[in-house]
């Protein structure tokens, strides 16, 4: 069975709507509903007074309808009574302002009162429902990531620091507290980063984010162990949220959940949304070691920067199958029914305000059928497999968000997404690896791409060296290998950790003003960043073509042992990265999933299934398979030309109205 469903909030509706919900879920082929995520104030209306009757009835109705339940602990949103009873458990921001209820996530994870209240409601839920026949999964909390800088947090931070650094001398050294007279002579002097006069100490900020990730994880583990104790057969997870503000290192958390569950909301209305979907799927698969679950996405909207963009017909299906192709155990949404009020009343849902007589519900019905048909074929299909790995490191992201850096717009996420996008556009499938957590995974890859891996430990540097010496192809982008994991710079020239293997020494950075672009002597365009690079064993592949660096190396390549190490000292354009990574992949003998695809077509191989997504409007033929505009085809067998294909979804979404399949063929491509 593939999971298909989403957040279901029956507490927002009168009971008479619940029967219709179950009937519509059955019509759409929903297999699972996530219940209770924000129901704390309905389950415990005042402290110690519990009301479970309504939830009993909801779970029973879902069970009678054959729908499984991911039952949540509602601890992300404590009720108003909690605030008034335990004001010291409310979060305090960096400016010292204590927040109050009125939204969600108003709690301090280090506050004993919060932890106790959370465990109390979790215990009630666990003991009541652990053996309910509808229960398929526990969904702990919601999107851990809440930040607090209060005195309780300060105390917990100090305990964490003592464990990590051992003594104050070690901390003073790791944090370079000799700078600006910050030397600590007593643990009690150490605070979480709070509003201060000028720039904070970057090492303090970095350690605080790591602390917060561990502190939130401890709160999750507490609940997980409680739930497991009541029924060890039910998997436990929590939904990961991504964002620069989130102090959660998901790569570290992944080993603590039974299945990695990810919420993902693309932010571009154009093909960028598909590129982001692919990125999120590949990253989540990396966290999950192959398997994962899309826990929430928006059925019918894409949040762009300043507005909601309604998905075109067929796009819900393509996005959903995109996640599944990249290893998700299903497709789940926020949310089932669009609420009548509340802060997110216009967030889209499978049943919108218009009701089931709506394009989104009709497409959901088709998608439910599609997933049902696909499930048996996926049961034996291993997750996508790749010979190319990209590094991901939450701590490097955090380090590059600070002040006092050479440019204020350093963009870790953007840099990683850019190399993934370049591979995506060449139909080169990529995995993610997590050198900040484990260094053992480079071995089987042919190509390792290292964008903005700012923090690098000595063992990781050694593993990368070994990877190349053993025949791997390494591509390191600027701002990698700069500092030790504690944030102190590696001396002797950048990129310290990788200088030897790359055969280069960078002696000066020249960040470039926003909007300014320049060319290299091979015709590549670049922006954002330039460096003065000295070669020390590497050959120059492209040089800066003008300006003060005219004639000096921009892109280099070095044979090292049995492998090759490339260095990219500048912000190549998308086309530049695509060309470069195409060359590297070809040298490394890595084939695209399907060669020569038009830009609008995405191919993903999962086991012996080939998923072909046509994000354009015209029909495209891949091998012997015609993929209509806006449609998806899943091909059995390793080659599209010698296999049977199936169209997925209801006819409308797969071949959207106005894009008949007899439109002229845009391009033909052959599977690789």
Q: Please, what is the minimum distance in Å from the beta carbon of residue 411 to ligand GLA?
A: 23
CA distance 125 to 105: 20
Q: Please, what is the minimum distance in Å from the beta carbon of residue 295 to ligand GLA?
A: 8
Q: Please, what is the minimum distance in Å from the beta carbon of residue 67 to ligand GLA?
A: 20
Binder among 56, 258, 344, 508 for ligand GLA (CB under 6 A): 344
Pair type for strands 504-511 and 571-572: unpaired
How many degrees, rounded to 5, is the angle at CA 361 between CA 357 and CA 365?
A: 120
Per-residue tokens: 77: 């949103």
Cα distances from 363 to residues 1, 25, 270, 311, in angstroms, run 20, 13, 20, 11
Choice between 9 and 429, CB closer to ligand GLA: 9
Residues 143-182 that bind ligand GLA (CB under 6 A): 143
Please give, one letter per residue, the 3-state secondary structure of 302-362: EECCCCEEECCCCHHHHHHHHHHHCCEEEEEECCCECCCCCCCCCCCCCECCCCCCCHHHH
Residue 115 makes contact with ligand GLA by CB under 6 A: no
Choice between 301 and 654, CB closer to ligand GLA: 301
Choice between 345 and 638, CB closer to ligand GLA: 345
Is 500 noted as a catalytic residue in this protein?
no
Instruction: Kindly state the helix (H) or strand (E) to which residue 154 belongs, with its residue range.
Output: helix 151-165
Residues 503-532 that bind ligand GLA (CB under 6 A): none
Choice between 347 and 505, CB closer to ligand GLA: 347
Determine the size of the site formed for ligand GLA (CB under 6 A): 7
What's the start-to-end Cα distance of the chain, in Å?
A: 30
Per-residue tokens: 353: 């305000």
Instruction: Specify the residue for token string 């300043």.
Output: 306
Residues 272-331 that bind ligand GLA (CB under 6 A): 296
Q: Please, what is the minimum distance in Å from the beta carbon of residue 253 to ligand GLA?
A: 16
Sheet holding 68-73, edge to edge: 236-237, 135-140, 68-73, 32-35, 3-8, 328-333, 292-296, 261-263, 239-240
Residues 418-447 that bind ligand GLA (CB under 6 A): none
Number of Cβ atoms within 10 Å of the Cβ of 144: 26
Q: Please, what is the minimum distance in Å from the beta carbon of residue 451 to ligand GLA?
A: 27
Residue 142 makes contact with ligand GLA by CB under 6 A: yes
Choice between 334 and 613, CB closer to ligand GLA: 334
Choice between 158 and 347, CB closer to ligand GLA: 347
CB–CB of 127/227 below 8 Å?
Answer: no
Residue 334 makes contact with ligand GLA by CB under 6 A: yes
CB-based contacts of 478, cutoff 8 Å, min separation 6 = 452, 495, 506, 529, 531, 568, 569, 570, 571
Q: Please, what is the minimum distance in Å from the beta carbon of residue 8 to ligand GLA?
A: 12
Choice between 142 and 569, CB closer to ligand GLA: 142
Choice between 276 and 296, CB closer to ligand GLA: 296
CB-based contacts of 656, cutoff 8 Å, min separation 6 = 312, 313, 314, 629, 630
Taking alpha carbons only, the member of 282, 281, 231, 291 closest to residue 257 is 291
Q: Please, what is the minimum distance in Å from the beta carbon of residue 285 to ligand GLA?
A: 19
Choice between 72 and 448, CB closer to ligand GLA: 72
Residues 57-86 that bind ligand GLA (CB under 6 A): none
Q: Please, what is the minimum distance in Å from the beta carbon of residue 335 to ligand GLA?
A: 7
CB–CB of 210/114 below 8 Å?
Answer: no
Catalytic-labelled residue, pool 44, 274, 276, 296: 296
Length of the chain: 672
Choice between 179 and 245, CB closer to ligand GLA: 245
Per-residue tokens: 279: 């990125």
Q: At what angle do helices 202-230 and 112-129 cross, to 10 degrees?
A: 30
Catalytic-labelled residue, pool 143, 274, 275, 531: 143
Sheet holding 473-477, edge to edge: 430-433, 388-391, 447-450, 473-477, 563-568, 553-560, 539-543
Q: Please, what is the minimum distance in Å from the beta carbon of residue 38 to ligand GLA?
A: 7
Is 296 noted as a catalytic residue in this protein?
yes
CA distance 628 to 437: 42
Choice between 177 and 335, CB closer to ligand GLA: 335
Instruction: Kindly state the helix (H) or strand (E) to which residue 91 belongs, with its residue range.
Output: none
Q: Please, what is the minimum distance in Å from the beta carbon of residue 263 to ligand GLA?
A: 4
Per-residue tokens: 520: 């290299």
Q: Please, what is the minimum distance in Å from the beta carbon of residue 199 to ligand GLA?
A: 32
Choice between 344 and 444, CB closer to ligand GLA: 344
CB–CB of 536/504 below 8 Å?
Answer: yes
Q: Please, what is the minimum distance in Å from the beta carbon of residue 76 to ligand GLA?
A: 8
CB–CB of 171/487 below 8 Å?
Answer: no
Contact letters for ligand GLA, residues 588-627 (x by CB under 6 A): ----------------------------------------
Taking alpha carbons only, the member of 189, 231, 194, 223 closest to residue 96 is 194
Pair type for strands 236-237 and 135-140: parallel
Contact letters for ligand GLA, residues 527-566 (x by CB under 6 A): ----------------------------------------
DSSP E strands in 32-185: the ranges are 32-35, 68-73, 135-140
CB–CB of 323/274 below 8 Å?
Answer: no
Burial class (CB in 10 A: 0-12, 13-18, 19+), 116: exposed
Residue-wise burial string across 567-599, b where 16 or more C-beta atoms lie within 10 A, e elsewhere:
bbbbbbbeebbbbbbbebbeebebebbbeebee
Residues 225-264 that bind ligand GLA (CB under 6 A): 263
Point out which residues bind ligand GLA (CB under 6 A).
142-143, 263, 296, 334, 344, 347
Q: Which residues are catalytic?
A: 143, 296
């Amino acid at each position: 069975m593939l999971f298909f469903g989403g957040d279901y909030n029956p507490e927002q509706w009168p009971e008479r709507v619940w029967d219709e919900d179950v009937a519509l879920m059955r019509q759409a082929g929903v297999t699972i509903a996530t219940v209770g995520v924000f129901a704390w104030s309905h389950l415990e209306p005042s402290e110690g007074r519990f009301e479970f009757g309504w939830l009993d009835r909801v779970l029973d109705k879902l069970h009678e309808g054959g729908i499984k339940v991911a039952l949540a602990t509602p601890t992300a949103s404590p009720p108003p009574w909690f605030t008034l009873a335990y004001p010291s458990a409310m979060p305090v921001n960096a400016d010292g302002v204590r927040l109050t209820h009125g939204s969600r996530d108003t709690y301090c994870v280090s506050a004993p009162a919060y932890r106790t209240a959370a465990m109390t409601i979790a215990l009630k839920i666990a003991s009541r429902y652990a053996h309910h026949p509808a229960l398929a999964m526990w969904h702990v909390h919601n999107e851990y990531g809440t930040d607090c800088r209060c005195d309780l947090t300060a105390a917990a931070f100090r305990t964490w620091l003592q464990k990590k650094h051992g003594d104050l001398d070690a901390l003073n050294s790791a944090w370079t507290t000799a700078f600006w007279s910050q030397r600590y002579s007593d643990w009690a002097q150490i605070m979480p980063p709070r509003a201060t006069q000028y720039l904070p100490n970057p090492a303090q900020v970095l350690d605080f984010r790591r602390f917060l990730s561990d502190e939130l994880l401890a709160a999750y583990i507490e609940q997980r162990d409680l739930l497991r104790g009541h029924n060890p057969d039910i998997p436990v997870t929590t939904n990961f949220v991504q964002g620069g503000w989130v102090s959660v290192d998901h790569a570290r958390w992944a080993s603590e959940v039974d299945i990695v569950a990810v919420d993902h909301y693309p932010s571009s209305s154009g093909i960028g949304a598909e590129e982001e979907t692919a990125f999120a799927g590949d990253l989540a698969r990396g966290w999950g070691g192959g398997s994962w679950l899309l826990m929430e996405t928006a059925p019918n909207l894409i949040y762009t920067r300043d507005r909601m963009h309604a998905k075109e017909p067929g796009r819900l299906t393509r996005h959903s199958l995109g996640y599944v192709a990249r290893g998700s155990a299903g497709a789940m949404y926020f949310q089932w029914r669009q609420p009548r009020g509340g802060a997110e009343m216009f967030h889209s849902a499978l049943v919108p305000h218009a009701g089931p007589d709506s394009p989104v519900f009709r497409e959901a019905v088709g998608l439910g059928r599609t997933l049902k048909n696909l499930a048996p074929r996926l049961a034996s299909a291993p997750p996508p497999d790749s010979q190319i790995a990209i590094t991901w490191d939450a701590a490097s992201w955090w380090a590059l968000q600070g002040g006092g850096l050479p440019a204020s717009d350093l963009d870790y996420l953007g840099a990683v997404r850019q190399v993934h996008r370049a591979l995506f556009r060449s139909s080169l499938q990529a995995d993610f690896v997590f050198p900040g957590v484990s260094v053992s995974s480079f071995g089987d890859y042919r190509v390792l791409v290292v964008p903005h891996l700012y923090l690098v430990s000595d063992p990781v540097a050694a593993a990368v060296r070994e990877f190349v010496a053993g025949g791997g192809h390494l591509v390191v982008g600027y701002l990698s290998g700069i500092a030790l994991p504690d944030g102190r710079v590696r001396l002797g020239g950048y990129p310290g950790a990788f200088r030897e293997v790359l055969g280069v020494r960078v002696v000066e950075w020249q960040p470039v003003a926003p909007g300014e672009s320049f060319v290299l002597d091979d015709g590549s365009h670049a922006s954002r960043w330039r460096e003065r690079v000295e070669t020390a064993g590497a050959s120059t592949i492209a040089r800066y073509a003008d300006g003060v660096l005219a004639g000096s190396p921009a892109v280099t390549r070095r044979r090292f042992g049995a492998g090759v190490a490339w260095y990219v000292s500048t912000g190549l354009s998308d086309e530049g990265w695509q060309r470069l990574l195409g060359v590297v992949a070809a040298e490394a003998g890595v084939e695209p999933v399907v060669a020569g695809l038009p830009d609008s077509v995405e191919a993903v191989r999962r086991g012996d299934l080939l998923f072909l997504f046509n994000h354009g409007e015209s029909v495209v033929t891949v091998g012997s398979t015609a993929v209509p505009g806006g449609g998806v085809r899943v091909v059995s067998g390793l080659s599209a030309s010698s296999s049977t294909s199936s169209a997925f979804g209801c006819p409308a979404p797969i071949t959207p109205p106005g894009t008949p399949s007899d439109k002229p063929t845009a391009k033909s491509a052959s599977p690789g």
